[in-house]
Structure 1
């Protein structure tokens, strides 16, 4: 069988593909190569893959590949490279020579701490639209180069013990990327996230933001942003009304997620004056710690339709469910033996039954 005219190749069985993989070099006109989940892919097959010069799409997702050769730079037509859930410990610096690459994803399924460190010369990748969960090292010049990726739509950066100069350069770069739709900034070093206040001209079409790291308060530009629709925070260590009291002003906020250590006080209160004009989904999913009580006052979050609360092993409680008049689904998660969870399930089901049939909500229990 001739392989020379095949344009797209996908594998659907995780095993039994050795004969096919050993003939990869014969697929000279191949544009799409999807090897997701194929356990027969070995490092030595990458030599053949790097000779498929017309490839536009390459997926090695969930394979056991541990190394990508520097010859990957020969795939000058490559637009998407999916390296998620592999066993890779990194990627060669020669990736910066893939000037047509639009989407680059990398993760190690056995170690979430494995990150690809952004190399010098990143500015060459002008076509990049998605860059997710990459480590920004201690080189301020690389942080500046991010600002030259003018087509970037999603940026995911992890800061590890970064210097003040690097953080300031990153803030300046973010302000230059007018095409940015979503952004994740994660700090797992010793510094805080206050540098985001220095973002003088935030992307105006930014729709989603994830802030992961200690911060004194939300940057002032967040509370005045007109397009933000999805906000996720964890490890921020905020308190008082620093979350609800600020974000309630956003005219297009539809989804809000609060994860572990996002809030330090025992009680988190959605006050009457916190209107949240279009908020429909609220996720309160810390593994442990505060808040212990989440309270809704009358007329707060009047349009909320879906509420998720994670109890895990903690003694938590929801107060004021009767004020969430638009609620359609309440999802409660936690350990089955958790008395607080069982109590809340009973109270929620009772509250739902007291409503008119059209106003009742579904109570979903998810045991861990």
Structure 2
């Protein structure tokens, strides 16, 4: 099977031999791998997996995450910080589990990466943007499902995102999303997916300084059909911004609302 190009829906248990053998698939271009967190994974297994991923010089697509959930809140993907060398030709990277101390720094060195997706990483402060903003060819950034914890998510002016066109923020949004001048200047499409647990008091959301996204062409708001109040303030802010652009003959953007 050393000529295999695609390997999907693989669940790695507590077997270091399997973790080692994955690295022998030298022609692999797409890997979709989850780690069984219902079992006590030995550190040696994760060490072997890190070595295997480092050997995948043909890899273009990597999905890595967690299967199940441990009771101790362990960060099963912490081993990613210790990759000897990253798969340099990656074009798409999807991380679907929590990880301590922010995203691995080597992600910022992936010169060919065009799409980055993260789910359930529960990052905080600068941890969400400070690594992917270094990617020179990143065109699509998808941040979903509790990937961030904090009341305000800020795209700072130091986060240039020189090639970013599509920004999708999904799940349980912070109270405020803010775009500083000079950040994400090339973004053309923004999607905000609002979800709310019914047992939690609904908090009003705001989007701040969207006027700094001068190339914006489309904004999509998505929320539950039975809770349209989630997007009320944001929708009004977007309409006001469009009105202002109309008065100054600036580029307006399309606003779309989807109910699920």
Tell me, in whole angstroms, the C-alpha distance in 2 between the residues paired with 1:240 and 1:343. 24
**Among candidates 126, 130, 134, match of residue 10 of structure 2:** 134
Tell me, in whole angstroms, the C-alpha distance in 2 between the residues paired with 1:294 and 1:343. 12
Who wins on radius of gyration, i.e. which is larger? 1
Q: Deviations over 1:56-97 (max 9, x none)?
A: xxxxxxxxxxxxxxxxxxxxxxxxxxxxxxxxxxxxxxxxxx
Query: SS where residue 354 of structure 1 aligns?
Result: helix
Tell me, in whole angstroms, the C-alpha distance in 2 between the residues paired with 1:204 and 1:245. 19
Q: 2:109 aligns to what?
A: 224
C-alpha displacement at 1:358, in angstroms? 6.1
Contact 1:214 1:237 in 2 (8 A): yes
Which runs of 5 or more residues in structure 2 are unaligned?
A: 197-201
C-alpha displacement at 1:342, in angstroms? 2.5
Contact 2:207 2:237 in 1 (8 A): no
C-alpha displacement at 1:200, in angstroms? 1.2
- 1:281 aligns to 2:166 (yes or no): yes
Contact 2:223 2:230 in 1 (8 A): no
With normalisation by structure 1, the TM-score equals 0.63
Q: Deviations over 1:210-230 (max 9, x none)?
A: 111111121121122212211
Q: Deviations over 1:305-349 (max 9, x none)?
A: 110111234532211111111111100001344324133223212
Contact 1:317 1:340 in 2 (8 A): no
- 1:169 aligns to 2:48 (yes or no): yes
Tell me, in whole angstroms, the C-alpha distance in 1 between the residues paired with 2:164 and 2:236. 26
Q: How many matched pairs?
A: 242
**Among candidates 34, 39, 63, match of residue 158 of structure 1:** 34
Tell me, in whole angstroms, the C-alpha distance in 2 between the residues paired with 1:164 and 1:262. 25
Query: SS where residue 31 of structure 2 aligns?
Result: strand
Query: SS where residue 273 of structure 1 aligns?
Result: coil
Query: SS where residue 49 of structure 2 aligns?
Result: helix
Tell me, in whole angstroms, the C-alpha distance in 2 between the residues paired with 1:332 and 1:229. 24
Contact 2:105 2:131 in 1 (8 A): no
Q: Deviations over 1:207-252 (max 9, x none)?
A: 1111111111211211222122111111112111011122211111
